[in-house]
Structure 1
Amino acid sequence: MTSPQLDFAGEYLQEALLTFKSMKKLADKTLVQLDDPHFYVALDPESNSLEILIKHMHGNMLSRWKDFLTTDGEKPTRNRDGEFEESHFTREQLMHLWEDGWTTLFATLQSLTPENLLQTIYIRGEAHTVMKAIQRQISHYGYHVGQMVFLGKHLKHETWQTLSIARGQSKPFNP
């Protein structure tokens, strides 16, 4: 790659890292507001509880990000179906899974170099550039973090502490 391409690739990796950190922060700010019983509530039989979402994201993160450049992103040891079964793990167990998944993701992402971005990796046997695989996970985790925030807001309703600018608190932008 030429120098401007390397600069772009390095900037992309930094932005991806910031995006993942922002997602985790939103979810963390949600989880801290909730009581232990909230982790097991699903709005209907087709919805996921926070427990399920945490287990699923953990399983996905370990599968996708461990040995990221050298093995398929769908590890044979992953039990994806089991991620969607109720386990009634304790809050402490769930938070351990949550942190373990993110630690794995951050360590791998921080180990990547601009030269890696166009390298080919595989997820479920399908070829992806490293950049495409990162984008795939940004989309996937953003989807689930949004579900977590929605569920947390629903469960806490009137005691919910907003994660952004509260309604009625926005001021017009005057440059």
Structure 2
Amino acid sequence: MNIGSEYLKTVIQRFMDAKVTAEKALEQLTESELFWAPNEESNSVAIIVKHMSGNMVSRWTDFLTTDGEKAYRNRDDEFVGDIQTKEQMMELWEFGWDTFFNALKSIEDEQLLKIITIRNEPHSVMEAIERQMYHYSYHIGQIIYVAKILKSGDWKALTIPRKK
């Protein structure tokens, strides 16, 4: 068994699991609930999705040869609520994840220790992957928490329901 191949296989599966879990929460929300935020300093689910997609596209497009913070990315714009529909939001969601998964699947074992840059800071490819595991899990947790609050008694458990 090759440790690099095993790591890549495992991490891709964990990211797929995280994506599916988030989608189970997203499916429970109405279109209007996707755009709800508790206050002006908080993000709606749609804005979190927009930010995650922007991050994925910036970080993982040509990640071996260009900095992960692309010149065309305007991170602040990711926090502007200009998405109009659930369909638009889901298109961004899929585009971001497709970009990310295509990049992960292109990595060769020997590239895991290659140094790449994110915001002009050096990271091994493995470190960049783990950085994203933290970042995406953080935001998926936010999505789920907001969805649970909004659905309250109508919430359908994403994993094993309590007392089951």
Normalising by structure 2, report the TM-score: 0.97
5+ residue gaps in structure 1? 170-175
Contact 2:46 2:83 in 1 (8 A): yes
Query: Which residue is 2:68 aligned to?
Result: 73
**Which aligned segments of 4 or more residues in structure 1 are displaced greater than 6 angstroms?**
none
Q: 1:10 aligns with which of 5, 11, 17?
A: 5
2:89 aligns to what?
A: 94
Which whole-Å CA distance do the structure 2 matches of 1:138 and 1:124 have between them?
17
One-letter code aligned to 1:128: H
2:42 is paired with a residue of what secondary structure? Answer: coil
Are 2:50 and 2:89, in contact at CA under 8 Å, matched by a contact in 1? Answer: yes
Match of 2:126 in 1: 131
Among candidates 23, 40, 44, match of residue 28 of structure 1: 23
Please, what TM-score do these two structures have when normalized by structure 1?
0.91
Where does residue 148 of structure 1 map in the other structure?
Answer: 143
Q: Name the counterpart of 1:172.
A: none
Task: Work out the CA distance in 2 between the residues paired with 1:21 and 1:89.
Answer: 26
Whether contact under 8 Å (2:83, 2:89) holds in the other structure is no
Secondary structure in 2 matching 1:32: helix
Mapped partners of 2:87, 2:30: distance in 1: 12
Aligned match of 1:104 in 99, 111, 121?
Answer: 99
State the 1:24 CA deviation.
0.3
Corresponding residue for 2:78? 83
Number of equivalent positions: 164
Cα distance in structure 2, aligned partners of 1:148 and 1:43: 13
Larger radius of gyration: 1
Partner of 1:173: none
The answer on whether the counterparts of 2:113 and 2:126 sit within 8 Å (CA) in structure 1 is yes
> Residues of 1 paired with 2:11 and 2:113: CA distance?
15
Local SS of the residue matching 2:113: coil
CA RMSD of aligned residues (A): 0.9
